[in-house]
Amino acid sequence: MQRIEIYDTTLRDGSQGEGVSFSLQDKLLICHRLDELGVDFIEGGYPLSNPKDAAFFNEARGLKLKTAKLVAFGMTRRKGIAAADDTGLIALRDAETEFVTVVGKTWDIHATDVLGVSLQENLDMIADSIAYLTSQGRKVIYDAEHFFDGFKANEQYALKTITAAAQAGAVLVCLCDTNGGTLPPAVQNGVRHALEKLKLPVGIHPHNDSGVAVANALAAVTAGATQVQGTINGIGERCGNVDITTVIANLRLKLGYDCLQKHSLIHLTETSRYVYEMANLNLVNNQPYTGTSAFAHKGGMHVHAVNKMASSYEHVEPELVGNSRRILVSELSGISNIAAKAGKKFHIEHDRAALKKVLDQVTELESQGYQFEAAEASFELILRRQIGRTRKFFDLKNYRCAVSRQANGQPVTKATLSIAANNRDINASAEGDGPINALDAALRHALEPEFPAIADLHLVDYKVRVVNGRAESAAKVRVIIEFRSPEGVFGTIGVSENIIEASWQAIADAVEYRLIHAQEAAAVVPAVHTAT
């Protein structure tokens, strides 16, 4: 089984993506995760470009990496400067990494029009830089920038640049589709020509501007490339780099190549989501292999088939990449969806009347604008209410939210509410950053003395969307709120023409869901079965 090296550049190329900024601590933590995943190389950054990258390499000397090699990235020497005197190359040397990556120009017009050097001096800059770093005991990976565009424009010169790198001592030449505009057949052709010219391994560094970065990476490997450079989740400049998680899964599960470590593929999903969290980016639900929707089933016919034979609608087992199957409920669902999702948990998988009752309720609510794919806690409450497996912890009597603007221009929001709980009336008020925050705080003030478990409920995300836009400012809105509690992260939903009312519905569902599960976990109070 052929080994394909995985070279991760999330910390350098990935950080160039719009909205992405890693702190020094973020970079160190991600470095540990990438090492645990089993990648071969971790590109830490360009030590001369900014103080944070310089600090990273200082701190990284103390990292105890198990499998990965840390790599410092830089450029060829500047024109008219000896390699030994070039500050960029000195910074690469002083990063004290075993491997360094140097990027140089392949496209002739970049040498003449961008760098302003002759074609021969560009070759000298490549060779001098690699020879110097090699003389300093470094193993040099050469990134041939714009290789495929350069190969198309001037094939002979493009091949001269990578030959210069090889003759100067590079251990691998990586062919970069820097503009992301090359298609798979041209990638295969370029890789084959490079391998014919060189007597050392070749890698591929594709960008996704044409939407085919993964296809280009696989095309390069099948043509003979033995290293793939990319980022976790494909983050990066413009349309991003190749998503290395998708490449890894395809190499291992589809093409039978050896990459990562033997048992590390099951950590692919958790690594993907960890990097999203560190980059403060939303998950891409339909991301292949690792997305939350990658193995989600909504159509009733699909769910029925998956229950009998998972491979009928799943190309691989989700557990292989650390993901899991999700059964969604909606107006497109059948009874089989309800049975698969919650039937066994509530012992109604064979009770068609109960399943039909729940499905009818879901269908009716979705016609009003509800969607339960991301609001599984609200769906569970619907099911519980329909089969009489719930408890009413409190009743809302009224609430009021008031927003006033102070003389200094800052708004002040106050919420007051009145509820009935444990056979008594409770009034509470609270201020917040906005009406939703204030209303949530007021409800907590009212309930925490009666039900302390609510203190373990934390709001982590809030989304609002217009349901019927044609109604303009009178349109219904759908609010979905994500909460974290000891049960994990879950979502609830509310729909109304009034955004505060929709938010209240979602908050109230979250409180009820949390208290039911806390009660069942503690088993202190006998379950109350009252249909509503």
Q: Which of 265, 255, 396 is nearest to 321 (CA)?
A: 265
The secondary structure of 250-263 as a DSSP string is: IIIIIS--B-S-TT
The band of 223, judged by pLDDT with boundaries at 50, 70 and 90, is very high
Residue 130 has pLDDT above 90, yes or no: yes
User: Please, which residues bridge with residue 417 across strands?
Assistant: 399, 428
Q: Which of 176, 257, 190, 246 is nearest to 215 (CA)?
A: 246
Residue 180 has pLDDT above 90, yes or no: yes
The secondary structure of 413-458 as a DSSP string is: EEEEEEEEETTEEEEEEEEESSHHHHHHHHHHHHHTTT-GGGGG-E
CA distance 104 to 113: 14
Rg (CA), the chain: 29
Q: Give the pairing type, strands 227-230 and 41-45.
A: unpaired
The band of 526, judged by pLDDT with boundaries at 50, 70 and 90, is very low
User: Please, which residues bridge with residue 143 across strands?
Assistant: 103, 174
pLDDT tens sequence across 379-394: 888 888 888 878 889 9
Tokens representing residue 362 in the block: 């879901």
Tell me what percent of the residues of the chain surpass a pLDDT of 90: 57
Residue 373 has pLDDT above 70, yes or no: no
Residue 52 has pLDDT above 80, yes or no: yes
Ordered domains of the chain (ranges, CATH): 5-278 (3.20.20.70), 296-361 (no CATH), 368-389+456-532 (3.30.160.340), 394-450 (3.30.160.740)
Mean pLDDT of 403-422: 89
DSSP SS3 for 305: helix
Neighbouring C-alpha atoms within 13 Å toward the C-beta of 325: 18
Q: Determine the pLDDT at residue 301.
A: 52
With tokens 């491979």, the residue in question is 311
The band of 112, judged by pLDDT with boundaries at 50, 70 and 90, is very high
pLDDT tens sequence across 457-481: 999 888 888 876 555 656 789 898 9
Residue 25 has pLDDT above 90, yes or no: no
Supply the pTM of this predicted model. 0.69
pLDDT tens sequence across 66-102: 999 999 999 999 999 999 999 999 999 999 999 999 9
Strands in 411-421's sheet, in edge-to-edge order, are 395-405, 411-421, 424-432
pLDDT tens sequence across 437-457: 999 999 999 999 989 999 999
Q: Which of 174, 199, 204 is nearest to 188 (CA)?
A: 204
Q: Which of 146, 125, 161, 11 is nearest to 71 (CA)?
A: 11
